[in-house]
Amino acid sequence: MSMKRLTTGAALAAGALAATALAFAPSAAAVTPTTATVTASCGIFGGGAATLTATQSGTSSTLTLTSSAITAPLALSANSITSTLTMANSTGSARVFSGTVNPAMAAGDPVTVGPLPGTVASGDSLDFHGGSLKMVIFGVTVTCTSSAAQSPGPFVMS
pTM as predicted: 0.80
Closest CA to 114 of 35, 39, 29: 35
What count of Cα atoms within 13 Å lies in the side-chain half-sphere of residue 5? 2
**Cα–Cα distance for residue pair 88/94, rounded to 1 Å:** 5
pLDDT tens digits for the chain (158 residues)?
554 444 444 333 333 333 333 334 444 458 999 999 999 999 878 899 999 999 999 999 999 999 998 989 899 999 999 999 999 999 999 999 999 999 999 999 999 999 999 999 999 999 999 999 999 999 999 999 998 999 999 999 99
Given a contact cutoff of 8 angstroms between Cβ atoms, the answer to whether 72 and 117 are in contact is: no
CA 125 to chain centre: 14
Closest-CA residue to 155 (of 106, 97, 113): 97
